Amino acid sequence: MSGVLKLGELHGSLADPLLDAMTFLNEVTGRYPEAISFAPGRPYEEFFDPADIPGHLETYLRHLREEKGLTESQVRQEVFQYGRTKGIIAPLIARALAADEGITADPEALVVTVGAQEGMLLVLRALCAGPDDVLLVSSPCYVGVTGAARLLDLTVRPVPEAGPDGGLDPDALADAVRELRAAGKRPRACYVVPDFANPSGASMDERARRRLLDVAESTGILLIEDNPYGFFGRTGPARPTLKALDGDRRNVVYLGSFAKTCFPGARVGYLLADQQVVDEDGRSGLLADELAKLKSMTTVNTSALAQAVIGGMLLAGGLRLREANEPARQFYARNMDTLLTELENAFRSVPGVSWNSPEGGFFAVVTVPFRADARALDVCARTYGVLWTPMDGFHPGGGGERQLRLSCSYLTPEQIAEGVRRLARFVTERTAGQN
């Protein structure tokens, strides 16, 4: 064999360009260090100070000693040893969820995961058992979930969003479920980001949320709600999560991420899975416990050290993460305002160019009159010094070829203004056929 493997004989996902998308998003900015980058959905780095990390760790250790009454040897075990599969900070997360979202969570129904990404993989693995099972996704869709589905050889069916700012269309979901069942398929769950979705920036209004929950109840479809951006509203008050609105019906598995509300380097997220699972003998337990079994064979447990730092941050914020994120919310809201104003200034009179107006979050989408693919991006980065993300990779059923995603989270308002001016030069020259 002499160290050579044939790609065609490895898992099919490895030849799928979808699996390059996450690395592309994380690394493209580094490839063009001079360019202004609207590409990565990263939090603004000036919020972070490495000197804060020991303080957060210390806060958590103090909590273990003083509030939980652990002995020194128990504290040592908690942070140095292999830990509980479901994690060690679930009680703190449950309290923050109650304060921030009005979600009542039994800590036993929580699993602390290696980012929301691991949560997606675990939920999809558990829910989809056979070749007829289908995962519905709001489309355009975050590549983390379509990528996880691809790893699991799981069929994905896109469900369109309702217009450029509307979020997942509940009636389109009902239609898709009906069609799939008529074709002998088993639609299992629908993945949705109701607040400031990645990549579209779209949000569902409260009426659409309630309608979606009714569709879930009447069709027996679980909703997988992913909520990394919910704190970062730009206009109007925060809307209730699907999980909060759903109450005791338990049609929603909730995915949380600390990547944007604390920091992504921790790689800590969680899932709330309070559904009951019943076996053939009528014994029942929590879905969270089944997911923990899968986790035990995936990552064993989420790093205790990383959990301790996030736990310290939760404690430092009085177990109210929304309040602690108010400066970040204001920063991102101002950036989105700047982006939308600059787009208006630059493209107001350019035919064939339009964009949406997200009510918050990190992302907006611009439609242009030419193919906005990886080759166009390369030209734009090298010649015009500005980076963005092609939208076609976010459309599992095809589409988005003439759209690009702009992320405004990683830049200052001045960089955003200059970046849009550069983008405008690229778009107008490309439209005029000069490239």
Ligand X SMILES: Cc1ncc(COP(=O)(O)O)c(C=O)c1O
Q: Interface with ligand X by CB under 6 A: which residues?
A: 41, 115-117, 142, 144, 193, 198, 226, 228, 257, 259, 264, 269
Distance in angstroms (rounded) separating the CA atoms of residues 359 and 320: 22
CB of 259 to ligand X, least distance (A): 3
Which candidate, 290, 230, 208, 255, places its Cα nearest to that of 114?
255
Decide whether 122 or 424 has the Cβ nearer to ligand X. Answer: 122
CB of 361 to ligand X, least distance (A): 9
CB of 46 to ligand X, least distance (A): 19
Distance in angstroms (rounded) separating the CA atoms of residues 65 and 63: 5
Which candidate, 405, 261, 413, 228, places its Cα nearest to that of 337?
413
DSSP letter at 82 equals: -
CB of 355 to ligand X, least distance (A): 19
Which amino acid is present at 4?
V
Is the sign of the CA dihedral 342, 343, 345, 346 positive or negative? positive
CB of 300 to ligand X, least distance (A): 17
CB of 416 to ligand X, least distance (A): 19
Q: Tokens in use for 303?
A: 């790093």
Number of H helices and E strands in the chain, helices first, is 15, 15
Of all residues in the shown chain, the one whose CB is closest to ligand X is: 115
Decide whether 143 or 427 has the Cβ nearer to ligand X. Answer: 143
Decide whether 227 or 251 has the Cβ nearer to ligand X. Answer: 227
Phi-psi region of 399 (alpha: psi -120 to 50; beta: other; left: phi over 0): left
Which candidate, 426, 428, 425, 418, places its Cα nearest to that of 36?
418
Which amino acid is present at 249?
R
Decide whether 363 or 384 has the Cβ nearer to ligand X. Answer: 363
Decide whether 64 or 197 has the Cβ nearer to ligand X. Answer: 197
CB of 363 to ligand X, least distance (A): 8
Decide whether 44 or 370 has the Cβ nearer to ligand X. Answer: 44
Decide whether 93 or 259 has the Cβ nearer to ligand X. Answer: 259
Is the sign of the CA dihedral 160, 161, 162, 163 positive or negative? negative
